[in-house]
Amino acid sequence: MKKTWIVLAVIAVLLLLAYSSVKNSYNSMVSMEEGVTAQWSQVENVYQRRTDLIPNLVNTVKGYADFEKETLTQVIEARAKATQVTVDPNKLDAQSIQKFQEAQTGLSSALGRLMVVMEKYPDLKANQGFLDLQAQLEGTENRITVERMKFNESAQGYNTLIRKFPKNIFAGMFGFEKKAYFEAEAGAEKAPQVQF
Q: Is the dihedral of CA 143, 96, 180, 40 positive or negative?
A: positive
**Can you tell me whether residue 89 is helix, strand or coil?**
coil
**Is residue 191 predicted with pLDDT exceeding 70?**
no
- Read off the pLDDT of residues 117-151 as tens digits, 9 standing for 90 and up: 777 777 777 788 888 888 999 999 999 999 999 99
pLDDT in the model for residue 72: 83
Before 192, cis peptide (omega within 30)?
no
- Read off the pLDDT of residues 175-184 as tens digits, 9 standing for 90 and up: 999 999 998 7
- Read off the pLDDT of residues 98-107 as tens digits, 9 standing for 90 and up: 999 999 999 9
CA atoms of 36 and 121, how far apart (whole Å): 43
pLDDT in the model for residue 196: 34
pLDDT in the model for residue 10: 94
- Read off the pLDDT of residues 71-93 as tens digits, 9 standing for 90 and up: 888 888 999 999 998 888 888 89
Average pLDDT, the chain: 87
Cα–Cα distances in Å, from 80 out to 9, 51, 110?
A: 65, 9, 12
Q: Are 130 and 50 in contact (CB under 8 A)?
A: no
